[in-house]
Amino acid sequence: MLITHGLPSMSDDRKLPVSRYTLGQRLFLFLGSMDLAITLLLTLAVASVIGTVLQQNQPYTDYIMKFGPFWFELFESAGLYDVYSAVWFLSILTLLVISTSVCVIRNTPSMLRDMWSLRTHIQEKSLRAMHHSQQWNSASSVEKSIENIETELSQQGFRLKRIEKGEGKTIIAAMRGGMNRLGYIFTHMAIIVICLGALVDSNLPLKFAEWQGNIKIETRDIPVSEIPLESRLPAGNHAFRASVNIPEGRTSNVAFLGMRDGYLVQELPFTIEVKDFRIEHYATGQPKSFETDLLIHDDDLAEPLASTIAVNHPLFYKGYAIYQASFSDGGTGLTIDIYPLEKQAGSDVITFDTKVFENRQMHWGDKSLRLEINAFRAFNINPDPTDDDPDNLRNFGPSISFKLRTDAGEAREFFNYMLPIPRNGREYFLSGVRNSPAEEFGYLYLPLDAESGLTAFSHFRTQLHNEELVDAVAHDIMKETLSAVDDVDEQLENSLQGSLVGLINMFVDGGFDEVSRFVETSIPDDERDTLGSAYLSMLHEMLARIYFDELSDSLAGYDNERQLVFLQDAVDAMGTFSRYGSPVFLSLTDYDHVEASGLQIARFPGKSTVYFGCALLIAGVFLLFYLPQRRLWLLVSARGGQTTVLLSGMSNRNPREFDLFFSQIANKLEQKSGNSSAI
């Protein structure tokens, strides 16, 4: 897998031709081959990129919305939503462990031998053929030259061995950096150890238990007490990463593991209590920092363990790591006023108390809708609509989001602000609505009266539902319209009055959309422009007279112009009720804010194994790159009354650096041996 310099690689085998190996031997060679190891490493690298780019372990509904049904099913079948726990990923990891282990088993003995072998069985011809080779003559005797050379090499940190070759020739073999071979062994063993640690911390045992039917993923939204045993994981030594949201003042002894389209409940050997949660925000409203005061209740403790955790500052207890991961609403108490918008919802304003995450069935006339309170936000930082500068932000105050769900399961999502929102110099209660999360919110603006409330608006709405008042106003307009017409019979009067009353009823039931639909379907094309304008004029006249018939006391402070503006705003709002989709408007009047701390609880028994593997990898890389193996051979012989020294050397790394080193060591040895002339 890693190639040495001048030595067989750890995947090389030169004993027999491959064709003469048995099937088992071929398989053994294949498992230890460098090609297989590189392929596995590249596959794991690609899988890691996918697991990094594609957010893991999210709710399946998020993936469906993002990719669509076709790609969702394709990615789900490939296990891309939980890459690091996918069967194919764990299989590749296991195969990499086997491949690297085979490689280490095959090559460690030869590597260890190479660490200690000084290679004294070398021929003069081979020495002279080496790239790094130098010869000189010495005036000293052979024994004196050898003694001086060995002293210098020992001082340079070389291990030495002297071999008498006969014929007056002596071989001195020297080596420094033999531990370099441990670098290859350590790096390969590090891969094995790290992968084993990763397998220990994987959910492979969990998958086996699921395949055997001992574990069943829970998909229902039910209380923890009702979750069956087959969806619970007992406290133990297995690895997991789970999460739990704990409101302030509440406790939990379980956490939840997200599994595909459901979850499992992980029991804890202790109880976590959230005493307090604190959060700071930037001016833009984004969270700046948040922290939680925790109490750990455990029978093994004399008293509860108190600790404060924050982002990147977890609590470690009994091998469990408790991280500050997020925050959410903890069931804020809400006081809500219900203003009826449709006739069937009645005319009285009703006040009721609820809380976030509470669901209740509501009945308004013949409509039965399930009210689901989803979230509460204490503040909303948005650009100020009264300022042209988009960077001028302001806090628009608290808001709630909720859904109204029909018996058929269809739901509309609403987003209501608690405080009035300014627009064009006037104030409104603002309510957003959409049919699905894929849509943008559309907004309903309810105008406020002089007392910054909806009293005047509700009074006008009640007036429109007053049949006697509507008949009286229609009768007056009918008389005024027909006063200039001769020979008016009762049938014409009743027809005109019925049309006026019908316009109001259409407007109340379906807004301007219903009136426009009536004009388009009931009036001939050649008369539509003329009669359509007439109908709209009569409708506005009816609305104005009903409005001014008995003004609400809340409009007493308005002059005529402001009263007309209020009337126009009220008519515009009522004209969109049919698209709003709710028979009532929910106005938040008070709240008791409760926050929940989002904790992530993890236990990784293989962490120490991975750390040990990392230490091995660091040591191996250091030995490989910073401790090169250097070998020197000196052939010392007597010729013509002089001593001849032949120096040759080689290194397995950094040849340029070895060029300089060889030149320096040759000069020193030449001087120490008593140089007379270089050859």
Please say if the pLDDT value at position 412 is more than 90.
yes
Among the listed residues 549, 524, 556, 518, the one whose alpha carbon sits nearest the alpha carbon of residue 536: 518
One-character DSSP codes across 81-101: GGGGG-HHHHHHHHHHHHHHH
Q: What is the CATH number assigned to the segment(s) 122-177+628-679?
A: 3.30.310.80
What average pLDDT does this structure show over 434-441? 88
Is the CA virtual torsion 146, 147, 150, 156 positive or negative?
negative
Query: How far apart, in Å, are the Cα atoms of 617 and each of 194, 456, 592?
Result: 9, 76, 54
At 132 the pLDDT is 92
The residue ranking higher by pLDDT, 526 or 420, is: 420
Tell me the mean pLDDT in the region 341-362.
89
Residue 16 has pLDDT above 80, yes or no: no
Condensed to tens digits (0 to 9), the pLDDT of residues 221-238 reads: 888 889 999 999 999 888
Q: What is the pTM assigned to this prediction? A: 0.68
pLDDT (mean) for 546-551: 85
Supply the pLDDT for residue 5. Answer: 34
Q: Is the pLDDT of residue 65 over 50?
A: yes
pLDDT reading at 611 higher than 90: yes
Whether 254 contacts 240, CB under 8 Å: no
Separation in Å, CA 378 to CA 112, 355, 401, 495? 68, 14, 12, 54
pLDDT at residue 494 is higher than 80: yes
Task: Say if residues 667 and 659 touch (Cβ distance below 8 Å).
Answer: no
Mean pLDDT, the chain, rounded, equals: 87
Q: What is the mean pLDDT of residues 620-631?
A: 90
Choose the most confident range, by mean pLDDT, from 61-75, 136-150, 578-592.
578-592
Lowest mean pLDDT among 129-138, 150-159, 379-388: 379-388
- Mean of pLDDT values over 520-534: 79
Q: For residue 653, give the amino acid letter.
A: R
Which of 342-346, 369-373, 617-621, 658-662 is predicted with the least confidence, judged by mean pLDDT? 342-346
pLDDT confidence of residue 277: 94
pLDDT tens-digit series, residues 638-677: 877 788 999 999 998 888 889 999 999 999 998 887 665 5
Q: pLDDT by residue (tens digit) across 290-314?
A: 999 999 999 999 999 999 999 999 9
| Residue 13: pLDDT band with limits 50, 70, 90 | very low
Nearest to 216 by CA among 255, 186, 260: 260
pLDDT at 254 over 50: yes
Band of pLDDT at residue 386, cut at 50, 70 and 90: low
> Looking at domain 209-330+595-605, does it have CATH number 2.40.50?
no
Give the pLDDT band of residue 380 (cuts 50, 70, 90): confident
Strand 262-281, strand 232-233: pairing = parallel
> Which position has the higher pLDDT, 166 or 317?
317
Segment among 341-350, 414-423, 616-625 with least mean pLDDT: 341-350
**Structure confidence by residue, pLDDT tens digits, 165-206:** 877 889 999 999 888 889 989 999 999 999 888 888 887 788
How far, in Å, CA of 73 to CA of 207, rounded?
20
**pLDDT at position 419, please?**
93
Q: How confident is the model at residue 387 (pLDDT cuts 50, 70, 90)?
A: low
Distances (CA, A) of 370 to 367, 406, 411, 430: 10, 6, 9, 22
Number of H-type helices and E-type strands within the chain: 16, 27
Alpha-carbon distances of 530 from 474, 496, 537, rounded to whole Å:
21, 16, 11
What are the tokens at 63?
A: 């993936």
pLDDT recorded at residue 294? 95
Mean of the pLDDT values across residues 464-480? Answer: 89
In the chain, the percentage of residues whose pLDDT exceeds 90 is 41
Confidence of residue 19 (pLDDT cuts 50, 70, 90): low
Q: What is the pLDDT of residues 101-151, one digit of tens each?
A: 998 998 889 888 888 888 888 888 999 999 999 998 888 888 898 899 999
Mean pLDDT on 56-66: 79
As a whole number, mean pLDDT of residues 38-67 equals 85
Quote the pLDDT of residue 155: 92
- pLDDT on residue 677: 52
Locate the domains of the chain by residue range.
Answer: 1-116+178-201, 122-177+628-679, 209-330+595-605, 334-354+361-448, 460-557
CA atoms within 13 A on the CB side of 228: 9
CA distance 662 to 545: 109
User: For residues 632 and 4, what is the distance between their CA atoms, to the nearest angstrom?
Assistant: 18
Question: CA dihedral in degrees (652, 658, 664, 668; nearest 10)?
Answer: 0
